[in-house]
Each structure stands twice: as C-alpha cells, then as structure tokens.
C-alpha cells in the first residue's frame, strides 16, 4: 500500500490525511524523505553549471520539501499527542536528523557554491530579499561548522548529534514525570466549583474515581490558589517543582550538565569564547552584556516590589494561625486572598465570563478588525478529537488553515506553543500555511478560562498571525523565522487587545446568561492588571539570569549548584522560586531554541509595550493605518530584514526600558 505521508494529499487545503496515517508510516516516510533530500542536495553540489541564485539557493530552498512535510506532521503529533511508539521514534530520529543536517553543512562543494555567489553578490542583480536569504544561508553554514576541517568537523558533528539526543531525552523525561504524578484529593475545602470539576475530569482521564491534582499548570495553579490545606499545597507544589529531579530514569540533572558542557565545546570549536556569545551574535541583543543590562534594570524594582508584597502575605499567613515564614506554596494562596480583598476580584465570579469559545471568538474578532481576516470552521478529520480547524480568508482569498488544540491531556507536553505543519512560501508556487496553536487548558463543560489562560490564548494567536499573514518568497524567512528576541513581539503585543475594555465588553459574556461582564467587575479586572507583578517578574527574570549565566562562562559541572549561586548573588526572595528550575527548564534544555535566550520575552516586551502605545496614540487601538504598518513591517515581513530595521520602520525608533516598567507597574 502507498504510504499516505508520501502520496499527494487530495484533501481540502492539502491537509494531512490524518485518518489514513498510522504510526507505522512515519519511519519509512522519514527514510524516503531523507533519501530524497540527500539526492537533491547532491544534485545541487555536483551541478556542472556555474553557481546561480536559482540553481543553488532556490534549489536548496526546495530540497527538503518532502522532509518538511513528513516532519511537520510527526513533530506536531509528538508534542501534542505522544505515545510510546512516537516517543521511541523521536529518540531514534534525533541523531539521524542531526547527522543529515551535518552532512549538508559539511558538504564542501555546496558551501563553495554559496561562497562563490556571496563573493559575486554585487553583480547578480539580486533583490533585497534574495540578498538577505543568500547572507542567511552563508551565515547558517558558517555557524554550523562548514569552514571546519578534519577532526574539528568530525567532533562538531558528534557533538550536535549527542545534543539532539539529549534534548529529546530531556523532553520525554519531563513528560513522563508530568504524566505519572497525581495526588488524590479527599479534602476539597476552599476549592471553587471550576477547580473541583477540573480535578474530577483529571481523575476520569486517568481512570480514577473522585478527584486528583496533576502537574498540569491549568489545574495545579488554581489548586495552589484556593486549597485551604497548606499540607496538600506543599505536597503538590514540591512535586511540581521537582519535575525532572526525582532520581531514577527520568532525572534530568546529569543531562543538563552534559548539554551545557557540549554547548560550550560546540562554541569553542567554532571560535567563540562562550556559548552565549555564539548564540547571541545573531540576536537583537548581540551580546551577554546587553542581555544582563536589561535584566538587571528590571530585576531591582521587581525584587523590591516582591519583597514588599511578601511582607504583606506573611502577615496574612501568621494571622491565619500558621507559623512563618511564608513559603513558596503559600504565595499564590495568600496572593489570591489579597487580590480579592484589594480589588474584589473573585476568580469564581470571573471565570463564567471567560468561556473558551468566547475568548476564541474575541481573538478572531480582533484579527478581523485589525487585518480583515475571516474564520470559517472546517469539518475535517484531524489528529485528535479535541483539535479544531478554521479556514482563514481575507476578501475571499484563502490565507491559511488554523488549528486550535486547547485542552490538557496526559499525552500532551505541558505549556502552550505555536507551530506550523506547513509554512508560507511563494517560491515554486504560492503555498499557504497550516498553523497550529497548542494550549493546556482544563477541560470542562463548558470550558472556562482564567484571565491568565485568556492571555495565553491571545499570546499564541499572536504567533499564529505572524504565520498567517506571512508574505515572503522564501520559506527560510517566513513567519516566525526571525531573531529569537524579536519573535515574541507579535505574540506579546496581541495580548494587549485582551485588555481593551470594548473587547471584553463585547466578548466576556456570562456562559449561562449571555450577559456582558458587569462594568464594575470589568473595571476591577483591568485595575488589577499589575497585581502581583513583583512575583511574576522576579520568577521570570531569575530564570532568564540563570539561563544566561549557565552559558556565559565555563560550563558548570553541577548545574544545580550554579543555579543556587546565581540566585544567591541576585538576592532571590526565599518565598519565590524560578519559573523554570533547571531539571524542567524545557525552553533551555529541550533544544537550542531558547538557550541563552530565555531573556527574549522581556526584550520583546520592551518593544510590545511601545508598539501598543503607538496604537493608543492614534486614539483608536484598531486604527487601520497603524494595523497596516504592523502587518507591512512586522507580521508579513518575517525575517526579510534585520529585526531592528523592521521595528524602526514600524515605529520610527527603538524604545527604552521605560514603557516595560510602566506597563508592569514597576516604574518609580
């Protein structure tokens, strides 16, 4: 029988034919795709004709089309709906794909063709996008070791292969710890109905009676906010922060140490003093010093605010008859009580106005008002019953397929992310993207979100818009293929539209009555926007600083000791932990994506605060002119120019840190 992954997809919008795909199809499909890719690159390298942009760069752009198609399906499924077969295949594929990548960049004939084009670039008549793509290919090859010879080249290939395997193992260990732990709940005191319902659904998913707490963020965070049982909060919290550090086969601490050592060796082989210097060379920040400077500008006021808040929360703890000091498993509980007292925000009263369906509609409505996009539900078979798809159009023209997969399940890794099963490209014929948003919201009937959940939905949809509106010729620079510290700008900027009173007034409607959120509740919600920002900023910046110090110096033999030293040096408040401790810091250790780059959310926030201010300055946060500039210079442009040039074209200049501090309520 024909492997469905390798055949032409005669489906609507050429979606993957999920009902026909079985796990047994993936291994042979990858083998065929790798074979096709090797043949395509060999043909380019051995082409007897002189190098041209078309026969070299454009040919390389299309050489991995089959591999991209197979990988686009597999890796989306491996993250969102894992099983033992897919996990085993992922472990097997990691070194194979790394070796394939190394083969390409170590192909001297291929690299020489790129160098020949680079040397003659002024005579080739390239447009701006072509010249940038040529530069990016050359830079990619050089940074991957194309100029290395002999033992150094061989060793770099081995290092990258081992890093790929370790990243996969780190991810699967974390998923196993998250999947396997649960705590039965015999005491539901303090828990509102929506938490009880989520705990009951979690028990049912695991074949248990009653109620359980799991390590899914959308369940454990509200449990920590509301449970009156301090002992149960401690048990759940300590399990949550111990992910990846429980000893045995799923312990990630030794893996983290080996990853850091191999990254340092990789940087040294390429001629860099540290891995951070290697990694940050191509980012907006440019250097570890620039990153450290930004983080420390934010750290000082955030720490001061957090310490003042901690004193108030500890007083509440003592007033309840508990012995001090305030512990990390106490913070969310007393912070929630304080928020209720100071802002009269009751999560139980708020959540019925934040139904998942309404928040999806709110995200779509804002995209329509800003960019003219329309969303039509598609009746198509997808990879899981929870996933849904929409045809995205503008003026009757198909722009993308958008897939939303919103609910937590044991087979899905934690967190929220945006990916593509197919990217946008014009080369070789117009290709429109298939964009996927993955979240881990608690399932319910109906599903109700916290305000933080709603922000997450808007955040990931901001990434999706970066893909949906992409309008470039080359897939290499499409959509979110931009500097890591620029990629969070569209997502974090889009969160601001959730804060717009008219958006909430229109879409935050009671799930049973359909009534809009009362004006006084809306005012209190928006008035509490910066509540507990000391805590949120401290836990984030601490993680970003630890990531930076891991990579900007000699690799630590004991990452946990190094983590402790960094936190001690900056005066980490004792009742707050890092948002992501080393053994479960997937951003940094599951792959190279955010290594030395966790700071990038804050670097982007400097811009997103300033960018939304540009809309406010017009007097209309849906101003068509400003929305057009945002699309032209950022959302449609992908990586077609340097990030600073794109932002400056949109705003006129780069911002300072002041809008960020003001936005977080940390300004003096």
Find, among 568, 569, 549, the residue nearest to 559 by Cα: 549
Check residue 459 and give its pLDDT: 98
Does residue 622 form part of some domain?
A: no
The answer on pLDDT for 508 being more than 80 is yes
Q: What is the pLDDT of residues 203-237, one digit of tens each?
A: 999 999 999 999 998 899 999 999 999 999 999 99
Q: Max CA-CA distance within the chain? A: 83
Check residue 659 and give its pLDDT: 85
Check residue 550 and give its pLDDT: 98
CB atoms within 10 A of CB 236: 24
Tell me: do 62 and 107 sit in the same domain.
Answer: yes
Tell me: do 188 and 89 sit in the same domain.
Answer: no
Does residue 566 form part of some domain?
A: no
Dist CA 30 CA 37 (whole Å): 10
Tell me: do 370 and 514 sit in the same domain.
Answer: yes
Check residue 529 and give its pLDDT: 87
The answer on pLDDT for 668 being more than 80 is no
Check residue 182 and give its pLDDT: 95
Q: What is the pLDDT of residues 297-313, one digit of tens each?
A: 999 999 999 999 999 99
Tell me: do 384 and 508 sit in the same domain.
Answer: yes
Check residue 312 and give its pLDDT: 97
Please answer whether residues 507 and 499 qualify as being in contact, where contact means their C-beta atoms are separated by less than 8 angstroms.
Answer: no
Check residue 1 and give its pLDDT: 67
Dist CA 177 CA 48 (whole Å): 54
Average pLDDT over residues 532-549: 97
Cα 304 → chain centroid: 29
Does residue 103 form part of some domain?
A: yes
Please answer whether residues 329 and 233 qualify as being in contact, where contact means their C-beta atoms are separated by less than 8 angstroms.
Answer: yes
Average pLDDT over residues 98-117: 96
Average pLDDT over residues 607-633: 97
Q: What is the pLDDT of residues 171-186, one digit of tens each?
A: 999 999 999 899 999 9
The answer on pLDDT for 493 being more than 70 is yes
Does residue 650 form part of some domain?
A: no
CATH label of the domain that carries residue 91: 1.20.1050.40
Check residue 445 and give its pLDDT: 87
Portion of the chain with pLDDT greater than 90, in percent: 94
Active site residues: 460
Average pLDDT over residues 365-375: 98
Q: What is the pLDDT of residues 45-92, one digit of tens each?
A: 999 999 999 999 999 999 999 999 999 999 999 999 999 999 999 999
Q: Which two tokens stand for residue 77?
A: 């499924």
Dist CA 210 CA 176 (whole Å): 23
The answer on pLDDT for 663 being more than 90 is no
Helix, strand or coil, per DSSP, at residue 367: helix
Of 505, 529, 553, the residue at which a domain comes to its end is 529
Tell me: do 59 and 136 sit in the same domain.
Answer: yes
Q: Is the pTM of the predicted complex or chain greater than 0.95?
A: no
Check residue 332 and give its pLDDT: 98
Does residue 394 form part of some domain?
A: yes
* Domain span holding position 500: 352-529
What total of structural domains would you count in the chain? Answer: 3
The answer on pLDDT for 643 being more than 70 is yes
Q: Which residue has the tokens 């998923």?
A: 175
Does residue 454 form part of some domain?
A: yes
Does residue 324 form part of some domain?
A: no
């Amino acid at each position: 029988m024909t492997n469905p992954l390798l055949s032409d997809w005669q489906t609507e919008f050429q979606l993957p034919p999920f009902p026909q795909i079985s796990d047994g199809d993936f291994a042979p499909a990858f083998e065929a795709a790798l074979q096709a890719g090797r043949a395509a690159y060999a043909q380019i390298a051995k082409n007897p004709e002189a190098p041209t942009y078309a026969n070299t760069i454009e040919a390389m752009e299309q050489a991995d089309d089959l591999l991209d198609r197979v990988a686009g399906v597999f890796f989306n499924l491996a993250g969102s709906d894992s099983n033992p077969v897919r996990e085993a295949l992922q472990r097997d594929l990691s070194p194979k794909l790394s070796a394939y990548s190394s083969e390409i960049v170590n192909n001297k004939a291929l690299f020489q063709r790129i160098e020949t084009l680079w040397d003659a670039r002024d005579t080739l008549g390239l447009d701006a996008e072509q010249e940038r793509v040529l530069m990016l290919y050359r830079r990619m090859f050089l940074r991957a070791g194309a100029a290395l010879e002999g033992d150094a080249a061989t060793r770099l290939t081995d290092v990258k292969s081992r890093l790929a395997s370790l990243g996969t193992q780190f991810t699967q260990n974390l998923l196993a710890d998250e999947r396997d732990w649960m705590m039965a709940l015999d005491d539901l005191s303090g828990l509102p109905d929506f938490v009880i319902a989520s705990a009951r659904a979690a028990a049912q998913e695991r074949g248990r009676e009653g109620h359980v707490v799991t390590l899914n963020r959308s369940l454990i965070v509200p449990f920590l906010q509301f449970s009156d049982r301090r002992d149960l909060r401690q048990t759940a919290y300590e399990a949550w922060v111990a992910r990846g550090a429980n000893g045995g086969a799923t312990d990630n601490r030794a893996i983290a140490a080996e990853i850091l050592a191999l990254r340092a060796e990789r940087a040294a082989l390429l001629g860099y003093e540290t891995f951070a210097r290697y990694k940050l060379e191509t980012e907006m920040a440019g250097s570890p010093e620039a990153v450290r400077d930004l983080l420390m500008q934010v750290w000082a006021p955030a720490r001061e605010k957090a310490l003042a808040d901690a004193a108030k929360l500890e007083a509440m703890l003592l007033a309840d008859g508990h012995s001090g000091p305030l512990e990390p498993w106490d913070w969310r509980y007393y912070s929630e009580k304080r928020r209720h007292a100071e802002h009269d925000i009751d999560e139980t009263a708020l959540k019925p106005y934040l139904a998942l369906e309404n928040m999806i509609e709110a995200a779509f409505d804002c995209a329509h008002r800003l960019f003219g996009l329309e969303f039509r539900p598609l009746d198509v078979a997808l990879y899981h019953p929870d996933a849904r798809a929409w045809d995205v159009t503008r003026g009757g023209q198909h722009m993308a397929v958008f897939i939303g997969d919103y609910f937590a399940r044991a087979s899905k890794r934690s967190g929220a992310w945006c990916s593509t099963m197919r990217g946008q490209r014009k080369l070789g014929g117009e290709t429109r993207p298939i964009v996927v948003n993955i979240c881990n919201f608690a399932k319910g009937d109906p599903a109700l979100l916290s305000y933080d959940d709603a922000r997450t939905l808007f955040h990931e949809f901001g990434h999706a818009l970066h893909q949906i509106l992409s309008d470039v010729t080359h897939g290499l620079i499409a959509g979110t293929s931009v500097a890591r510290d620029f990629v969070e700008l569209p997502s974090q900027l889009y969160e601001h539209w959730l804060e717009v009173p008219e958006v909430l007034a229109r879409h935050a409607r009671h799930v049973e009555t359909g009534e809009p959120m009362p004006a006084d509740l809306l005012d209190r919600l928006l008035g509490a926007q910066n509540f507990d920002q000391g805590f949120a900023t401290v836990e984030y910046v601490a993680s970003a600083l630890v990531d930076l110090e891991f990579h900007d110096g000699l690799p630590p033999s004991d990452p946990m000791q190094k983590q402790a030293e960094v936190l001690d040096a900056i005066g980490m408040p004792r009742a707050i932990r890092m948002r992501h401790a080393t053994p479960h810091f997937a951003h940094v250790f599951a792959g190279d994506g955010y290594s030395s780059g966790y700071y990038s959310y804050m670097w982007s926030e400097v811009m997103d605060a300033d960018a939304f201010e540009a809309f406010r300055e017009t007097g209309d946060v849906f101003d068509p002119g400003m929305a057009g500039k945002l699309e032209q210079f950022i959302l449609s442009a992908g990586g077609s120019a340097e990030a600073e040039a794109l932002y400056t074209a949109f705003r006129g200049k780069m911002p300072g840190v002041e809008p960020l501090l003001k936005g977080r309520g940390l300004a003096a």
